[in-house]
Every structure is written in C-alpha cells, then in structure tokens.
Amino acid sequence: MRRFCYTGFILLLASCAPNFSERSAFVFGTICRIQIYESGKEFVFDKLFKRMTELDEIFSANREDSILYDINKNAAAGELPLPPELAVVLSRALDFAALSADKNGRAAFDPSIGVLVKIWNIGTKQERIPTKEQIKAALALVDWRAVELNKSSGTVKFGMEGMSLDLGAIAKGYAADEAVQILRENGVKCALVDFGGNIYALGKKRDGSAWKIGVQNPNAERGEYVEVVEVTDSSVVTSGNYERFFEEDGIRYHHILSTETGFPVYNGIVSVTVIAKNSMDADALSTSLFALGFERGVSLLKTVKDAKAIFIFEDGKIVKTGE
C-alpha cells in the first residue's frame, strides 16, 4: 500500500475576520496553501507564489533544472558558488548535523543523505526496498563532515565523489519563513501559511486570541486530533511515520531514514510535532527528534531557544516538553 504525505494538522478556526482570501499551489512536492484574513491584501499572493517557485527551483533535489541538482552533480569536482538562500539553509542543516551527531560523528540529521533517499524513493512510483549492497554503498556516501561549506566565499565542495545533498527536511521550513517575511513586508498581520504540514500562524486572530491548531492522531483517519496547540507568530511542524510510506509483507517503510542502518527509523515514536518561532528550525528539529529517539531528542531540543515538542508513541502515549 502506498500513501503520500499530507498535513499532520487540523486548523481549528473560528472566523478570524469577515474578509478572507486563500490561494494554493503545488510547490516543494506538496500543496502549499496561504490564507490571509484581511481585506485588500490579495495582491500579495502573486509575490508569495512567485518567490516560492523561485525557491523550489533552488532546493529541489529531483528537478534536473534546480540549482541543488547541479551542485549534487558537480560539487565533488571543485568549489561551486551557492545562491545566498542555499548557503543559509545548508549552513543551518550542518548545524543540526553537528547537534545530532553521536560520539563517532554520525548525525541523525544529515543533509548528505541524498543517495540513500534516492535508492528508497519513498513517496514515488519507484519506491522499493533496496538491496543490502545498495544500502551499504549509499551509507558510505553519507557524511556531513565531507560537505565543505565556505561561508566567507559562499561556496561548497564535496569531499567524496558521488555524494548528494537532500534538504527536504529543512528547506520547506525556510520557505515558510520567507513567506511570512513577505506577508509582513506587505502589511499583513493575520495569516496562515500551510506548506504540507509546515504551518506558520502569523499574528493573532482578529478577536485577539491565539490560533488553535489540532495535531493529527497518527493512528486515526485524517481529521482526528489528539492535541490542540495555541500559537501566535509561531511555526508548528510534524514529522511522522504515517506521512509518506509504503507497506510490503506487512511492514511499513516510511520516509525518515536512519543514517546508521540505512532503513527507516524504528524507535517506538510515531510522530513528533515541534512548535518554534522559526519554521526552518522547527522543520529540522521535527526530523532530528524523530530520528534521535526520545531521550537524545529531548537533549537536542533543549539547545534550541523557545522550542517545544509533542512526542506520540506507538502505544498511544503522548509526552509534551517545554510546559
């Protein structure tokens, strides 16, 4: 059975304002939806989705016309210049790699996981269980320390031929932050950005109350929630094993892969929801915490200011941090 990624949230909205406008588009491999709860601001949508399309052309690991695709193909041969957006995201991805690394340097969150992601192809028509030989070869090319980012010159070089970046666990968060910045620059004070499970709630509802976002019950049909979080000027991001997966012989193979085994992560966690002021950090954190497991994940979470998390386990147990 194949299932594709959908949002892990339900927006529990009372009427924010009598004026409401919305636009959506397929970007970053998902439906990106932006809702503005103010009149006279519809002109912002053109700016927003033009910018989102530009970012997709930078960060996509699958589009052959993307900048990241070109870097993956050529960065082992020598230093390549990075657009500023890619330099920022890669730098922060490497920060999370360092924060999630064990004593041997293996990172639970590793942006150089591209080859491993590609041989599984989970969420596509080509998804499959790779052979042991394929996994071993792919893991040999996963090492964030071999990504040589020169921040002063804005260039990158790969230390191994054949390695590949995949920024899918952080770039969508960066894009959500960019969308919020555009909204603010154009005077929008009340809006919701929903990038396929990456939500940013801008401002407050017009009645002055916080936004209420229901966290999807990972063991139930879409639309059933287990927790409600109230947020203002914050991002809510979930990573879970129910978002994108396929099943074979009764085993679920989901898209969050272990850099140790090369297989999907199995540690008793079903989903992790992160609430933070910055969507890029929330995006990277949700994947990192899921991959690290509860104890190591909580230790990492404490290093990021004002970030909270909700862990949901296979047995239905829910643990909330930061309260």
Residue 23 to residue 243: CA distance in whole angstroms: 23
Work out the burial of residue 65: count CB atoms within 10 Å of its CB; fewer than 13 is exposed, 13-18 middle, 19 or more buried.
exposed
Is the CB of residue 7 less than 8 Å from the CB of residue 173? no
Length of the chain: 323
Closest residue by Cα to residue 87 from 58, 57, 109, 128: 58
d(Cα 145, Cα 148) in Å, to the nearest integer? 7
CA distances from 172 to 25, 34, 115, 212 (A): 14, 14, 20, 22
Q: Write down the pLDDT at residue 322.
A: 72
Instruction: Give me the pLDDT at residue 194, please.
Output: 94
pLDDT at 167 over 70: yes
The Cα–Cα gap between 116 and 255 comes to 11
pLDDT at 310: 96
Summarize the confidence of residues 88-100 as an average pLDDT.
98
As a whole number of angstroms, the distance between CA 112 and CA 79 comes to 16
C-alpha distances out from residue 213 to 119, 138, 229, 316, Å: 35, 38, 5, 20
Write the pLDDT tens digit of every residue in 303-316: 998 999 999 999 99
What is the rounded CA–CA span in Å between residue 273 and residue 216? Answer: 10
Both tokens assigned to 28: 């970053």
Q: Rounded distance, CA 266 to CA 245, Å?
A: 13
pTM of the model: 0.93
196 in Cβ contact with 5 (< 8 Å): yes
Nearest to 223 by CA among 6, 52, 67, 9: 9
Q: What is the largest CA-CA distance in the chain?
A: 59
Burial of 68-103, coded b for 16+ CB within 10 Å and e otherwise, reads bbebbeebbeeebebbebbbebbebbbebbebbbee
- If you average pLDDT over every residue of the chain, what do you get? 91
Q: Which alpha helices (H) appear in the chain, and where do they start and end?
A: 44-59, 67-74, 84-99, 114-120, 132-139, 171-185, 279-292, 294-301
Cα angle 316-230-169, degrees, rounded to a multiple of 5:
65
**pLDDT for 42-63, tens place per residue?**
999 999 999 999 999 999 998 9
pLDDT digits (tens, 9 = 90+) for 238-261: 998 887 889 999 999 999 999 999
